[in-house]
Structure 1
Amino acid sequence: MSDLAPVLDHLDRSIDQSLERLFSLLRIKSISTDPAFSSDCREAAEWLVEDLKSIGFEASVRDTAGHPMVVAHHEGEGPHVLFYGHYDVQPVDPLDLWNDDPFSPSVKEIEPGRKAIIGRGAADDKGQLMTFVEACRAYKAVHGKMPCRISILFEGEEESGSPSLKPFLEANAAELTADFALVCDTGMWDRETPAVCVGLRGLVGEEITIHAADRDLHSGEFGGAAANPITILARALAAIHDENGRVSIPGFYDGVEETPENILKSWAGLGETAESFLNPIGLAKPFGEQDRSVLELVWARPTAEVNGITGGYTGAGFKTVIAAKASAKVSFRLVHKQDPDKIRAAFRAFIEARIPADCSVEFHKHGGGPAFQLDYNMPLVVKAQGVLTEEWSKPAVAVAMGGSIPIVGDFRRMLGMESLLVGFGLSDDRIHSPNEKYDLTSFHRGQRSWARILDVLSK
């Protein structure tokens, strides 16, 4: 602790200065989805480069076909880590729902004894990435060096699909490959319980269209004789799940592993029930596999969901037709070692087997990628849990996420790196919404947490 203690003290003394630096970054309107803000995105990248240079990084703005990347390196002993974050933000619409200017950040008391940083990007992801930068700054100020070799990659298109990221990783693989990556775009379990994310679900998206007659038909003239593609579609979609909520597609569970009992026990200790999870959205009973807890369902089990259905007449009034075609959009969330290509092929075969001989079906691919899963006992995860527990005084939990962070899969597939996912966002941070916030405690103790993680990695 001798190397770490003065770093933590420095972070405590410098919180006001670190806030001012964050505010400077938050004032930049780096909205990546709107071309009108292209110059602002470049300004944010340039601001980060100058800030990183001020603490000894070799940093530069790297142009892409879209918004620029920020790449920085600092020498050090021990392992080589690559830290990833993004400086772009979501649009602020609807502006009239903001209590203040979204690009005029401030600290406000949101409830007695609880203060938060208010502004677009405060939690997603500028506040998060600056927790790491401030930890590096404190180490350099106290010891004159970094605890390990550090590279940084900040992108400016995460909120618009990261179109330039894969080409950039491919072109700069040798420079960016490290022992492992650090990713901060995640959160805590609650305000007092830190978390390490060890699993992210993958995704397969499919659109299907069933064709029957060569035109819409009068249901009185042809009803009972002509195939109805809406009925065929509905039957096929209904067959995807059995009466216990399991997916019926053959081979769907290939590669799905059981979550270790000790992890399930730790999740049970978090106190989340089906009622506490579903009641806020007006529901009460889990719909998926009946023998699983709600956290296991959303963190560690695969899903098949129908996201939209169209067909026939859906306008005002009534029109008695048998539609010529019907369509549906279906998505699958994948876990563990499920193969997206095999899932897609199995789904298509499942649907094709339910199409009458005189009808046809066409499929349209809507992207996909595998799940990300770390070993729960991986030394990197265990070390991170240990130091997070020291900082927050509550046991750090190993969690998973129902959604996806594509960069994590890209790091594994393209650079051969595993990723440690640690973040300090909270479920009420209102990311992508008006009045986005980041708890002041998250910002301050997030810095201290990264300092602890860097320290333990150096050893």
Structure 2
Amino acid sequence: MAQLDAILKRADDNLPSSLDKLFALLRIPSISTDPAYKEKCAEAADWLVAELKTLGFLAEAHKTKGHPMVVATSENAPEGAPHVLFYGHYDVQPVDPLSLWEDDPFDPKVKDSAAGTKVITGRGTSDDKGQLMTFLQACRAYREENAELPVKITIMFEGEEESGSPSLPAFIEEHGDLIKADFALVCDTGMWDRETPAIAATLRGLVGDEVVIKAADRDLHSGFFGGAAANPIHILADILAGLHDENGRVTLPGFYDGVEETPEDVKKGWEQLGETDSRFLGEIGLSVPAGEKGRSVLELTWTRPTAEVNGITGGYTGEGFKTVIAAQASAKVSFRLVGTQDPVKIRESFRAYVRSKLPADCSAEFHPHGGSPAIHLDYNAPFLKKAQTALSQEWPKPAVVIGMGGSIPIVGDFQRKLGMDSLLVGFGLNDDRIHSPNEKYELTSFHKGIRSWIRILDALSR
């Protein structure tokens, strides 16, 4: 404990220099989706390689068809210690519209917020440069205290997360042996609130499909043909309306295969968070939950599967009015998956359902838009419990285990391709405005994030 206390104090003393290092990285406009910033992405990768080398890591920026992949390994670790992979990404979102920023997005500052807290401002502060730097500065505190890193560490920083990770599958296929570890640490998530740290134990999977319903060989005059000709918009509307029953459950055959109920003790833990329908929905101008009846909003968004219509097109949608029966109509539909739901079977079931609803002289064509299964950690996994205890020792309130409604594809790749589970711990807040103008990261998130990783690494070694 004496050594741990010394390392934590070192992190406290290093906070000004840690901020300087973060600011240096934030000033590099590593926007991955814009080819104009290709050299800046390479500059960010090289900056990280140099920084990792000062921490005693063997580090290299690996070339890909897109932006470099930074991989580093620690040279020494105690015998028998676990091997962890830390993942983050150094690329950032575009800053448009620039006119909405209060300051230059690539000139970071520490400012006072309206909430009375100190915040670090600039693009990438919360997503994900500030987050990944919490881990690097935790390692620095160990090194500067002449302490051995308590576990074997491999680090992987991606440069294309914000643009769909196009180079990642090939990199894992070719260099999986470089990054395979006992489990991964992913710092691209958030806290429950400013005082309550969180570990995400579930991520929903995703299936996307686009359906096009076709009828007549051209658009028709609704006066000449109305009432006699099939209307694809009517057919599509009926199909989409039939995806849910009166209780909000999805009607596709076999849809709930692999969906398990959330353990009662976990749900009771969520009840202690104090989330209500009105508070959750009130922020977006709603008040009454949709979806399955009898479920809390946290269940609905974390551990239950969904079918959502994301877009509909058909007929005349311009200014004014045009009396036409469209030749075709289309919809984009997504399914969020949980448990062991099979993306392939869900897609097949949806398509079979659509075909079953078609009139005899109409047809449907489909265009897939990706598919990945859900991720679900064992709520009682030893490394999760150790991290939960460590976080609870650092923050004012005990750490909670939560779910996430979205998907993080890299976590699925780690599990399916490398057999690694991931511990998802992050220190962002809901109001950090990631992907939006005036992104920020709480100074407390940065400081206590560093201290949290010191505690987690120590706990994982025991």
TM-score (normalizing by structure 2): 0.98
Structure 1 unmatched runs, 5+: none
Q: Specify the code of the residue in structure 1 equivalent to 2:159.
A: G
Indicate which of 259, 265, 276 corresponds to 1:273: 276
Residue 142 of structure 1 aligns with which residue? 145
1:79-110 per-residue CA deviation (whole Å, 9 max, x = no partner) reads 11000000000111111111111111010010
Do residues 62 (structure 1) and 62 (structure 2) align? Answer: yes
Deviation at 1:112, TM superposition (A): 6.0
1:383-438 per-residue CA deviation (whole Å, 9 max, x = no partner) reads 11111111003111101111110000000011110000000000000001111100
**Percent of pairs identical after alignment?**
68
Deviation at 1:218, TM superposition (A): 1.5
Alignment of 1:40-439 (within 5 A): 40-74=40-74, 75-77=76-78, 78-111=81-114, 113-439=116-442
Residue 23 of structure 2 aligns with which residue? 23
Q: Specify the code of the residue in structure 1 equivalent to 2:148.
A: K
Off by >2 Å, runs of 4+ in structure 1? none
Structure 2 unmatched runs, 5+: none
Alignment partners' CA distance in 1, 2:242 and 2:115: 52
Indicate which of 436, 442, 447 corresponds to 2:445: 442
1:320-353 per-residue CA deviation (whole Å, 9 max, x = no partner) reads 1111111100000111111000000000001110
Deviation at 1:116, TM superposition (A): 0.5
Alignment partners' CA distance in 1, 2:370 and 2:62: 27
Deviation at 1:225, TM superposition (A): 1.4
Q: Specify the code of the residue in structure 2 equivalent to 1:208.
A: V
Alignment partners' CA distance in 2, 1:327 and 1:60: 47
Alignment partners' CA distance in 2, 1:191 and 1:112: 11
Deviation at 1:187, TM superposition (A): 0.3
Give the aligned length. Answer: 459
Alignment partners' CA distance in 2, 1:437 and 1:113: 14
Q: Specify the code of the residue in structure 1 equivalent to 2:271.
A: A
Alignment partners' CA distance in 2, 1:222 and 1:57: 73
TM-score (normalizing by structure 1): 0.99
Alignment partners' CA distance in 2, 1:219 and 1:433: 44
Alignment partners' CA distance in 2, 1:252 and 1:112: 44
Q: Specify the code of the residue in structure 2 equivalent to 1:295.
A: L
Alignment partners' CA distance in 1, 2:315 and 2:33: 34
Alignment partners' CA distance in 2, 1:354 and 1:133: 56
Alignment partners' CA distance in 1, 2:315 and 2:153: 58
Alignment partners' CA distance in 1, 2:115 and 2:251: 51
Q: Specify the code of the residue in structure 2 equivalent to 1:53.
A: K
Alignment partners' CA distance in 1, 2:432 and 2:317: 38
Deviation at 1:271, TM superposition (A): 1.1
Deviation at 1:316, TM superposition (A): 1.5
Deviation at 1:163, TM superposition (A): 0.5
Q: Secondary structure of the residue that 2:240 maps to in structure 1?
A: helix
1:208-243 per-residue CA deviation (whole Å, 9 max, x = no partner) reads 011111111111221111111110110011000001
Alignment partners' CA distance in 2, 1:147 and 1:400: 29
Shifted more, 212-221 versus 4-13: the winner is 212-221
Alignment partners' CA distance in 2, 1:334 and 1:221: 45
Q: Specify the code of the residue in structure 1 equivalent to 2:21.
A: R
Deviation at 1:113, TM superposition (A): 4.1
